[in-house]
Chains A and B, each alone.
Chain A
C-alpha cells in the first residue's frame, strides 16, 4: 500500500489561490443555504451509502490523488465528511441522539471552506473509488451532493465558477456564443468543403457540440459533418441548442444544469429529432443521457447517443464504411462515458472496423486511470500542480501499452492531455476518435 511519490509539482502551475466565494450574503446565510441543499440531497440512497461505510479506507487506493501523493486527506469518502456530518446530525435514524448528546457538532462555514479543495480541486468524480468499495458506495454521487451545497453557499472555486456563470449568462462557458458558432461553422465549412447545416426546421438527428471543440478543436465540426454526409443522415446543428457541456453539473449549480439541459431538449423537440448526438465530451453524456429525463420530469421523446455510439451503430448498419488504419492505438475511456456512462463497447467496435491494433490500458474496459481534468478540475488553475501529479499516472499507463497512437472520445480529456503533454514535454498527442473515423471514411459515395 505504498503511495508513489514523484516530483512533478514544479511546473507552470499557478500557485496563487483563487478567491472561492461568490455573492455578498452573510456567513450565516451561506451556511444555511449549504445545509438546506445538503438536506435536499440526503434521500434514502445517500443515507444508505453514508450508513454503510465501514471506514475500510479502500477507496483511497483507487483514487489517483491519494495514490500519487500518499496524503490521507484525498481519501474519497473523507472528501464528503461535511455532508456526512450534516447527515448524522440532522437526518440519520439516530440524529436525535447525536444532537441531544452533542456527539456530532454542527457543520461550520470554516469547515466548508477548508473542504473546498477536496470537493472541487481533487475530485474528478471519475468513479474508480465506487468500483473498489466493498460496500458498493457510489461516492461520486455524494461528492455531487456536496458540490450542490457548496454552490448554494457560494463556495465554488473562482476558476470553476466563472465559466459556470458565463454559461448561465451567455449559453456557453467558454464564450462559444451563437454568433461564434455561426462564424466557426461558416469558416470550417469553407475550409473543409463540407456542408454544415445550421438551424434547419426539421431533422432526424440533432447534433450538439462541446464549446471546447468550437474554441479549441473546430476540426471536429468538419469531422461530424463528413461522417453525417457519408451516412446520408438528415441532421442539423441548432443555434438555440448546441452547447452540450454543462458546467452547472460540474459546479453543483442545479438551476444552471437544468437550464443547459432544457435548451438541448427544447431544440431537439423543435426540430422533431429522433436522435440527439452528444459530442466527444464526458460529462455532457452524463448530463443528458442519464440525468436529462430526470430534469425533464419524464422520458425524453428522443434517443440520446454519444458520438461513439452513433458511429458504432452506423458501422453495424453498414452505412458507415471505413478504410483500414492498422496503426497500434490505445484508447483512453472517458470516465463519464465509459465507467460511469456504460459506453465502452462502441469505441472498440469502431477500432475493429478500422482494423487498428488496439492495446488496452486496463483489463476491464473503462477502468483506466482518469486523465485528471474531469469534474471541472482542469479549470481550477491553483490545482494545476496536483493535476500534473495525477496526470503522470495516466501518462505511465498510456506508455505501458506501447501503442503509437493515443485516442480518446472526450474533448475535455483531450484538453487535459494537450496540457499535460506540454507540461511534461511528452511525445504523445491525444487524437479524437471521431476525427480518426472522419479521416478514414471509405469512398463509397
Chain B
C-alpha cells in the first residue's frame, strides 16, 4: 500500500467505519451502564434544591481543592497541558475544522500553523511526561493495565504523525498524512472501549456524586 492509497483508505472507508464503531460503541457502553438497576433515595434532602446545587461539581472538580493541591497539583497541571494542547491542535487546525464543517456544518476560524505545532508539541511532551510518571510511580504502576498503555499509544500516535506530516519528517507527505489520519481512526475506534470514554462518563460520574452529596448538604 503506497501513500496515496493509504490516505484514501484512511480518510475514506476507514474513517467512516471508525465513526460508526465509535458511535455504536459509545451507545452500547452507556446503555450497558444505565440499563442496570438504580436505587431510589428516599431520605429527606437537606433542602429543596440541595441535590441540584451539588451539580456544580461538574465544573468545580476540574481543579483540586486547596486541601489537596500540595500533593496533586503539579501532575494536574501536566495533565492540563496535555489536554489543552491536544484540544488546540485538534480544534484549531484549519484542515481539522474543514473536516468538522463537512461532518456537522460547524465552523470557526483556524489558528496559524506555528501555534498548532507548538500546542501539539507541548501536548506530546506532556504525554511523554505522564507516561514516565505512570511507569515510575508505584501507585500508578499498580493500577495500570493494558487499557492505560494502549490508550496512551493511540492518543500519542496522531500527535506525532501530525507533527511529522506538518514538518515533512520521515516519509513522503501523503504517506505521513495517511498514517496520521489512520492513527486518528484507531483513536476513534478505541474511544468507547477503554479509558478515553472518560470524556463522556466524566459528566455522569461527577453529576451522580454531586447530586448525592448535594442532597446531603455535604461538600462536593
Residues on A facing B (Cβ under 8 Å): 1, 42-45, 47-49, 51-52, 54-58, 60-62, 66-67, 72-73, 75, 77-78, 91-94, 130-138, 289-294, 296-300, 303-304, 338-344, 362-367
Contact = CB atoms under 8 A, between A and B. Distances in A.
A1 B137 contact: yes
Contact of A366 (B143, B209, B218): B218
A292 B44 CA distance: 10
Contacts of A344: 219
A93 B42 contact: no
Interface of B: 28-29, 31-44, 46, 57, 61-62, 64-68, 71-72, 74-76, 79, 137-145, 147-148, 193, 195, 197-198, 201-202, 204-210, 212-213, 216-220
A2 to B, nearest CB: 9
A132 B68 contact: yes
Helix, strand, loop or mixed for chain B's interface? helix
A47 B195 CA distance: 14
A66 B209 CA distance: 23
A61 B68 contact: yes
B209 A137 contact: yes
A126 B148 CA distance: 28
A94 B193 contact: yes
Contacts of B31: 93
A56 B151 CA distance: 13
Contacts of A363: 65-67
B46 A342 contact: yes
Given A48-B205, A363-B66, A364-B65, A294 B41 contact: yes
Contact of A77 (B143, B144, B209, B217): B143
Nearest to A133: B61
A54 to B, nearest CB: 5
Given A72-B142, A73-B142, A364-B65, A45 B208 contact: yes
B67 A51 contact: no
Given A42-B36, A58-B72, A130 B209 contact: yes
A296 B40 CA distance: 12
Contact of A136 (B35, B38, B61, B144): B61
Contacts of A49: 205, 208
Contacts, number: 169
A300 B139 CA distance: 43
Given A341-B216, A342-B216, A367-B219, 5 more contacts: A54-B198, A57-B137, A77-B143, A132-B64, A296-B42
Contacts of A42: 36
Contact of B42 (A61, A289, A294, A364): A294
B65 A93 contact: no
A123 to B, nearest CB: 16
B125 to A, nearest CB: 19
B202 A61 contact: no
B60 to A, nearest CB: 10
A1 B39 contact: no
Given A1-B137, A132-B68, A52 B216 contact: no
Nearest to B79: A56
Q: Which of A43, A52, A77, A130 has the most CB of B within 10 A?
A: A52
Contact of B209 (A138, A298, A365): A138
A309 B90 CA distance: 52
A136 B140 contact: no
Contacts of B218: 338-342, 366
B212 A135 contact: no
Contacts of A1: 71-72, 74-75, 137
A136 B57 contact: yes
B33 A364 contact: no
A55 B143 contact: yes
A292 B205 contact: no
Nearest to A298: B42
B43 A93 contact: no
Given A42-B36, A75-B143, A48 B204 contact: yes
Contact of B219 (A72, A77, A303, A364): A364
23 contacts: A43-B37, A44-B37, A45-B208, A49-B208, A55-B143, A55-B144, A57-B137, A66-B139, A72-B142, A78-B142, A93-B31, A94-B193, A131-B67, A132-B68, A136-B61, A289-B43, A291-B43, A292-B43, A344-B219, A362-B67, A363-B67, A365-B219, A366-B219
A366 B219 CA distance: 8
Contacts of B71: 1, 61-62, 67
A23 B107 CA distance: 67
A67 B217 CA distance: 28
A136 B43 contact: no
Contacts of B42: 293-294, 296-299
Nearest to A127: B218
Contacts of B39: 43, 45, 294
A60 B139 contact: yes
B36 A75 contact: no
A424 B62 CA distance: 39
Nearest to B146: A103
